[in-house]
Amino acid sequence: MKKLRMTFLDSEGKRRNLEPRLTADNLPELTVRDCMNVLRDLNLFEKDDVKLYDQVKEAKYIETIETPIFED
């Protein structure tokens, strides 16, 4: 089974990953990118004045072999 890993940069430039529990294992780039942009734009996730999901970085499926979806 594949697992989707969405990677963002926080407002300090550190990598932050989100791994939704239930996802299709063949989502197209545009769908994933749009979802990540929506999550970023919600501005709901902050800790100690650091915006946790400030920039969309990359998304990929994790399995025995990594299958990249995109990388900026």
Provide the pLDDT confidence category of residue 24 given band limits of 50, 70 and 90.
confident
pLDDT at 67 over 90: no
What pLDDT score was predicted for residue 64?
66
User: Which pLDDT does position 65 carry in this prediction?
Assistant: 66
User: pTM of the entire structure?
Assistant: 0.82
- On average, the pLDDT of the chain sits at 91
More confident residue, 1 or 27: 27
Tell me the residue range of the domain where 32 lies. Answer: 3-71
Asked if 4 and 61 touch (Cβ cutoff 8 Å), the reply is yes
Cβ-based neighbours of 60, under 8 Å, separated by 6 or more: 4, 5, 7, 66, 67, 68, 69, 71
Considering its fold, how many domains does the chain have in total?
A: 1
- CB count within 10 Å of CB 27 equals 15
Q: What is the mean pLDDT of residues 6-25?
A: 92
Residue 14 is predicted with a pLDDT of 97
